[in-house]
Amino acid sequence: VEVNVRGSMLVTHAVLPSMLDRGAGRITNINSGAGYRPMPAYTGYAMAKGAIARLTTLLDVQYREQGILAFDLAPGQIETDMTRSMPMHEGRTEWTDPRNVVALAAAVADGSLDDLAGRFFRADIDTPESLRAAAGDIVARDARTLRMIS
């Protein structure tokens, strides 16, 4: 929680004033699918990632009209010493290519995904091309956000 939530909030707090002065900016929060679905073995982590999802949504709602766009980017399952040691990845043979994360981050940075601000992307399944192709449907359904359905 301290690293994921507080860290994201502190960085946002540090960069937001200059973005507001310019009337433009993009914030990309590093998130996880764990923030959007139950993960009983990783409660603290999933709760923190859910809070980041909410932060992204609230930043988008609060600052979009002032030119600040916020995005959630989940890198997927990147093979590292840490992820290989996690019980949830035991036996995993397929990992997300880090270049997929870079491609999505670059697409956010260059503005080609601006229509999808406030939403969640996953580098293990999404590409800039697939997101642009589905953008109209995603926006029409108001999909890829964290919310309660009543």
User: Is 45 one of the catalytic residues?
Assistant: yes
What three-state secondary structure class fits 124? coil
**Catalytic residue of the set 36, 42, 45, 63:** 45
Cα dihedral sign, 106-110-113-119 = positive
Of all residues in the chain, what percent are helix, strand and coil, respectively (each to 5)? 60, 10, 30
Residue 19: half-sphere exposure toward Cβ, Cα within 13 Å: 19
- Round the CA-based radius of gyration of the chain to a whole number and report it: 16
H-run or E-run covering 73: strand 68-74
Torsions phi, psi of 20, nearest 5? -65, -40
- CA gap 122, 127 in Å, rounded: 8
Task: Return the active site residues.
Answer: 45
